[in-house]
Structure 1
């Protein structure tokens, strides 16, 4: 309780204000940053999406992943 007596009261209140501000600010950033990173990753993924409609692919060897590709009403014949 000596911290709240005359000689130290003003400094103690300033330090308490700074500590509370920093702690809540740090908590806010720790919640905000992962959310922003998640949104950036989702935007990047969406920008790389390729949509293929009514394509006919014959005798093709896929040596890559079909990630970020959407095939609608396509026909795949003798593909690997």
Structure 2
């Protein structure tokens, strides 16, 4: 209880205010940053999506990944 006596009361109050504001600020940033990074990654992924409709692919060898590609109503004949 001596920290609430006159000579150190002002410093105790100031340090408590700084301590609480920093701790809640760091908590807020620790919650906010991962969410922002997740949204940025989702936006980047969505910007690279290619949609292919009604394509017919014959005798083709895929030597690349089909990541970020959406094929709708397509026909794949003799592909590997």
TM range (shorter): over 0.9
Q: Which 4+ runs in 1 deviate beyond 6 A? A: none
Give the Å deviation of 1:6.
0.2
What pairs with 1:1-80 in structure 2 (closer than 5 Å)?
1-80=1-80
Q: CA RMSD in A?
A: 0.5
Shift of 1:8: 0.4
1:16-73 Cα offsets, whole Å, 9 max, x none, are 0000000000000000000000000100100000000011111110011111100001
TM-score (norm 1): 0.98
Count of residue pairs the alignment pairs up: 80
What stretches of structure 1 of length at least 5 have no aligned partner?
none
Q: Scaled by the length of structure 2, what TM-score is found?
A: 0.98
